[in-house]
Amino acid sequence: MKPEEYLEKILQKEGLSKDSQEVKAMQEEKANVEKIISDTFESNPVVRYAGSYKKETMIKASYDLDITCYFKHDDDSAGDNLEDIFNNVKKAFENKYFVVPKKSALRLQSTDKKLDFHIDVVPGRFVDDSESDAFLYQSTGDKNRLKTNLDVHISHIKDSGLVKIIKLAKIWKSIYLIDVKTFVLELLVVKVLDDKKDKDGLDNCLKAFFEELSSNIDNIAVEDPANSGNDLSLLFDSYIKDALSGAASKAKKLIEEDKWEELFGPVDDDNKSNKASFFSESQNQTTGPKPWLDI
């Protein structure tokens, strides 16, 4: 089997279609989340999918339901400031879920101990009437708010022409438990392969990606496409660079030896033990990457 054909089969095996059981479960849970928000806040904030679902980069081994909940810039129904909005949205979910506050997101967990959700809700407020840029509350760090733009994040990935490579990179990260945020990994793929596209050959793109990470990672910098002032250095420090470079060197060697199955596994493997479902038994739950919004 040629490398291109093999990689396409891996993508097919590890991908999630919009009519899959996992995606249908996500859609149902989003409806539940949206109803709680609309029942609590009469102003009807804008609730949207975010993350891998909107970017079309979901893989079975690791994915989350990311939802944004943005209030109009002059809407004070959830509070006068971003911290109030964050806390009041949190309260809205507390009767239905266990709510774990994160830096800018609210992690919703099932009250049924046998189930573990992958749901993050990110409250925020639009900057102006254009409803494009939004401010998010940050519970930790030097600044208590972060300016972002959901559409910019989505288009940066979705329109890059590298969605398949990004999915393969996420599969690689999941298999080898590489300690890097998915958000950073996505940005790395787009940055390193800025002159390439999926159509240039998945094997050729992967070779170029692993070559650059293994030999030149110290000279690579990533930026938040929606906010150049958002410092990502802590998410891409020397520890993470070393982990990526080491794993990329091993991947590069396997590719040079034409050992693709040793890199991504067999295409006919029906063992699903390493795959996380949207609703998974807590005792079998694998640790997946955090969503891009959780920064």
Mean pLDDT of all residues belonging to the chain:
88
Sign of the Cα torsion 206, 179, 29, 278 reads: positive
- At 184-217, the pLDDT tens digits run 999 999 999 999 999 999 999 999 999 999 999 9
SS (H, E, C) the chain: CCHHHHHHHHHHHHECCCCCHHHHHHHHHHHHHHHHHHHHCCCCCEEEEEHHHHHCCCECCECCEEEEEEECCCCCCCCCCHHHHHHHHHHHHCCCCEEEECCCCEEEECCCCCEECCEEEEEEEECCCCCCCEEEECCCCCCCEEEECHHHHHHHHHCCCCHHHHHHHHHHHHHHCCCCCHHHHHHHHHHHCCCCCHHHCHHHHHHHHHHHHHHHHHHCCCCCCCCCCCCCHHHCCHHHHHHHHHHHHHHHHHHHCCCHHHHHCCCCCCCCCCCCCCCEEHHHCCCCCCCCCCC
Whole-angstrom Cα distance, residue 265 to residue 98? 36
pLDDT value at residue 175: 93
Residue 3 · residue 207 · CB < 8 Å: no
Crossing angle for the helix pair 202-216 and 238-256, to the nearest 10 degrees: 130
How many CB atoms within 10 Å of residue 1?
11
Under 8 Å between Cβ of 54 and 268:
no
d(CA 18, CA 40): 29
In the chain, CATH 3.30.460.90 sits at 21-149
Fold assignment, 21-149: Beta Polymerase; domain 2 (3.30.460)
* Domain 3-13+157-267+278-284 falls under CATH 1.50.10: no
Residue 257 has pLDDT above 60, yes or no: yes
Per-residue model confidence (pLDDT) at position 284: 39
CB 291 within 8 A of CB 150: no
Q: What are the tens digits of pLDDT across the range 179-191?
A: 999 999 999 999 9
Region(s) of the chain under CATH 1.10.1410:
3-13+157-267+278-284
pTM of this structure: 0.87
Percent over 90 (pLDDT), the chain: 72
Looking at this protein, which amino acid is placed at residue 196?
Answer: K
Spell out the residues 6+ positions from residue 250 whose beta carbon is closer than 8 angstroms to its own. Answer: none
- pLDDT for 92-146, tens place per residue? 999 999 999 999 999 998 887 666 667 899 999 999 999 999 999 998 877 899 9
Residue 19 to residue 203: CA distance in whole angstroms: 28
Q: Under 8 Å CB-to-CB from 136, ≥6 apart: which residues? A: 82, 104, 122, 123, 124, 145, 146, 147, 148
Check whether 34 has a pLDDT greater than 80. yes
